[in-house]
Amino acid sequence: MDYLTHQIIPQYINLDAAHQIDHVEQVIHDALKIAREHNVNLDMVYVIACFHDLGLLVDRKLHHMIGGKMLEDDRMIQSYFDHEEIKIMKEAVEDHRASNEHPPRSIYGKIIAEADRNLDPMTIFKRTIQYGLKHSKDFDKNEQLERAYDHIVEKYGSNGYLKLWLNTEQNSLGLKKIHMLLEDKSHVMHILNQIYDEIEK
């Protein structure tokens, strides 16, 4: 716990605003909450949650694979867990990505994938704007808002690529709320505009 708290989690401060320490802490909290409903090792769940987005330090497209390798190669982790446990944790990090078409290979992967969703509409909208401001700096305000809206539809819309593997009540309700909001684009654009202005103050 001391190692993860002081050596791993602080690295998230080097990521974009949508993946800061508050994000990994939220994933840890939600993962442990979900995990208590299943017969799993909570220490393993905690480790997976801490490493799940660490690969973003190197590359976004491959962050899930890189993060899994970081966990596997970590000497401190190797001193606390056996080979099979590390393999399961590595695969869970690799499998957590929302765009994965296939279900995670273990319950651990499903728990982290579900915890990483955090489908509160306002949180999703804010993180989408934050990501755009970080990675599309040449876009003007209108382009940022359109990019954010298109991404939300593509990922969270009725035909979006995001999948829920455990269908927790919290995420199921959150996704339904997003679907309802997306029925009125002008309303969503108004919300995104307010979020943009608040961030850019």
In CATH, what number is assigned to the domain containing residue 112? 1.10.3210.10
Give the end of a domain, one of 59, 94, 117: 117
Reported as a single tens digit per residue, the pLDDT across 76-126 is 999 999 999 999 999 999 999 877 878 999 999 999 999 998 889 999 999
pLDDT band at 9 (very low <50, low <70, confident <90, very high): very high
Reported as a single tens digit per residue, the pLDDT across 46-60 is 999 999 999 999 998
Please state the pTM of the whole predicted model.
0.80
pLDDT at position 163, please? 86
Does residue 81 sit in the same domain as residue 149?
no
Range of the domain at 56: 2-117
Number of domains composing the chain: 2
Q: Which one, of 69, 74, 60, 61, lies nearest residue 19 by Cα?
A: 60
Lowest mean pLDDT among 17-21, 25-29, 67-71: 17-21
Reported as a single tens digit per residue, the pLDDT across 120-167 is 999 999 989 998 998 898 999 999 999 999 999 999 999 999 888 897
pLDDT band at 184 (very low <50, low <70, confident <90, very high): very high
Does residue 20 sit in the same domain as residue 112?
yes
Give the end of a domain, one of 117, 145, 164: 117
pLDDT at position 31, please? 96
Reported as a single tens digit per residue, the pLDDT across 21-43 is 999 999 999 999 999 999 999 99
